[in-house]
Amino acid sequence: MTQSPFKDHFSSTAIDYSKFRPDYPPALFNDLAARAPQRRLAWDCGCGGGQATRHLARLFDRVVATDPSAAQLSTAPQFPNVTYGTAPAEHAPILQDHSVDLIVAAQAAHWFDLPRFYGEVRRVAVPGAVLALITYRPTQIVDPAANRALQDFYTTTVGPYWPADRRHVETGYQSLDFPFPEEPGPEMKIEVRWDLEQLVGYAGTWSAVKEYRGQCGEDPLPFLRQSLASVWGAPGDKKTIFWPLSYRITRLP
């Protein structure tokens, strides 16, 4: 089988990705697990550093979590019922035919070769299995001045350096090809209280920041830090930051 080129945007920032990426609300995975026909096996596809895996581990007898980046997998949390495997979304031989009750791709599906991924989903899914593609939309800060500084950095400073597939995150995955009858997802958001350095650390995991560094030969994060610092207050002050969640969810035949 010929594999699609791996779009490796995150291996070089795997440790920071694990440290700074926000966590999902546990209620999201409670909802998805309740939809699954059984709770025997879940597949976390494009698991990265295991941000979703940890939630699936408490809800399913077994979890298989795969990612093409060995660097990302090296930062993932270990659980006795979780098996990690280095594999692309489009070909996961670690999974048997018709064995998986819930397939999750969290903040990952916009990088996939979707037709081939869907073929693999159909191969591994049990009848009635649930497929959930999850994304969180761009970052928002409740504080208006800080939010303006962040949005200017997002759209102007590093905006031209976002990979083309990032557009699917902007639309809440509504622009993704999804040839299945859909179920609505729960209305939820990720919400944190972060200080300035936590937010800058998170921005350092953005694929556009990596691309900016490569093309421009300098780090854009000092520009962001300076811009935010001018309106933040004390650097240790915490502000409410959130990401609206969006989904494409289906129950497979």
pLDDT digits (tens, 9 = 90+) for 136-187: 999 999 999 999 999 999 999 999 999 999 999 999 999 999 999 999 999 9
Whether residue 8 is predicted with pLDDT greater than 60 in this model: the reply is no
Whether residue 12 is predicted with pLDDT greater than 60 in this model: the reply is no
Whether residue 3 is predicted with pLDDT greater than 50 in this model: the reply is no
Nearby residues of 20 by Cβ (< 8 Å), 6 or more positions away: 198, 201, 202, 204, 205
CATH code: domain of residue 212: 3.40.50.150
Phi-psi region of 173 (alpha: psi -120 to 50; beta: other; left: phi over 0): left
Locate 64 and state its tokens. Answer: 């298989």
Confidence of residue 21 (pLDDT cuts 50, 70, 90): confident
4: in domain? no
Number of compact structural domains in the chain: 1
Q: State the pLDDT at residue 2.
A: 38
pLDDT digit string, tens, across residues 88-108? 999 999 999 999 999 999 999
User: Is the separation of the CB atoms in 136 and 253 below 8 Å?
Assistant: no
d(CA 145, CA 23): 25
Whole-number percent of the chain with pLDDT over 70:
93
Q: State the pLDDT at residue 7.
A: 52
6: in domain? no
Q: Which domain holds residue 117?
A: 11-251
From the number of C-beta atoms within 10 Å of its C-beta (0-12, 13-18, 19+), residue 69 rates as: buried
Locate 7 and state its tokens. Answer: 């779009």
Q: State the pLDDT at residue 19.
A: 78
Q: State the pLDDT at residue 239.
A: 98
Whether residue 1 is predicted with pLDDT greater than 70 in this model: the reply is no
Q: State the pLDDT at residue 217.
A: 97
19: in domain? yes
Partners of 132 in the β-ladder:
104, 249
Produce one character per residue of 146-159: b if its CB has 16 or more CB atoms within 10 Å, e if not. bbebbeebbeebbe
Whether residue 17 is predicted with pLDDT greater than 90 in this model: the reply is no
Confidence of residue 37 (pLDDT cuts 50, 70, 90): very high
Total residue length of the chain: 253
Average pLDDT for 16-44: 92
DSSP codes of every residue in 32-99: HHHHSS-SSEEEEET-TTTTTHHHHHTTSSEEEEEES-HHHHTTSPP-TTEEEEE--TT--TTSPTT-
pLDDT digit string, tens, across residues 181-227? 999 999 999 999 999 999 999 999 999 999 999 999 999 999 999 99
